[in-house]
Amino acid sequence: MSQAMTVERVNDLTERVLDIACGTAKQVMPALARQESVRPGINLRFENPDVKEFIGKYEGESREVFAQRQAIVAACKLKRDMAVADIGAATGFFTRLFAREVGPEGKVYAVDISPKFIDHIEKTVVGEGLKNVVGVVCMPDNVMLPARAIDLAFVCDTYHHFEFPFQTLASIHEALRPGGQLIVVDFHRIAGTSREWVLNHVRADKEVVVREISSSGYKVVADEPLLKENYFIRFEKVGTRELSHAGCASSGRAGLA
């Protein structure tokens, strides 16, 4: 093998690694598709969920994110004409709240891996006279949203259900408009403090989640002490030029290791 060919292959490999670190979605997806699930089987129960049972689980005042839903919506700082994606929408209670906040000139994508949840949401929004909601059945590694379609992606108690976090984050990155934001609400996972269910169910603590997202084309812009059992972190989509200036290649390699 000639030295020129070796250099060419090394440069090609380096470029692909940098693409993954910086979260450039169209170039990243083929390489990321080869990754294995970080939590196989975690979403099996959503293949054919009992929607009424999950309404009881998810829409109860004993669940922090439901009890604090109005505060969470206020913290999202929605505007009347925004396009929002509720990723992991489940029974749709945030979807419906968001739809009222953005108004008829805005749009809310209700995104979930379960067709039964999406069917439920589409029926309930019609019953409530909400005409600005679009249901989207997503894939395990792709939110299946159009490119540059949304201003805000909202992921509540769902990040720990991402089987393929880097692929999913890349698809969200592609769906966000320039300067768009990603809000992640998820459980604190702290040994000796968190409930046993959280320790067994949630794969990563806050620091790992922040590292994964920051290595995928986002930067933290706010970490708000809004909740007790959950954290509320706002990220902003970062362009490839800004990532390069910030030294994304080195941080990306650490996050993807």
Q: What is the CATH number of the domain that holds 75?
A: 3.40.50.150
Sheet holding 230-237, edge to edge: 133-137, 107-112, 83-87, 150-156, 176-187, 230-237, 218-224
Range of the domain at 44: 3-256
The pTM (predicted TM-score) of the whole model is: 0.82
Burial code of 153-180, b = ≥16 C-beta within 10 A, e = fewer?
A: bbbbbbbbbbbbbbbbbbbbbbbbeeeb
Whether the predicted pLDDT of 3 surpasses 50: no
Whether the predicted pLDDT of 202 surpasses 80: yes
The pLDDT assigned to 242 comes to: 56
- What average pLDDT score do residues 21-37 get? 52
**% of the chain beyond a pLDDT of 70:** 80
Write the pLDDT tens digit of every residue in 113-136: 999 999 999 999 999 999 999 999
Write the pLDDT tens digit of every residue in 184-199: 999 999 999 999 999 9
Band the pLDDT of 22: cuts 50, 70, 90: very low
Band the pLDDT of 9: cuts 50, 70, 90: very low
- What average pLDDT score do residues 199-212 get? 96
User: Which segment of 52-56, 138-142, 170-174, 247-251 scores lowest on mean pLDDT?
Assistant: 247-251
Band the pLDDT of 146: cuts 50, 70, 90: very high
Q: Number of structural domains, the chain?
A: 1
Counted residue by residue, the chain has a size of 257
The pLDDT assigned to 58 comes to: 96
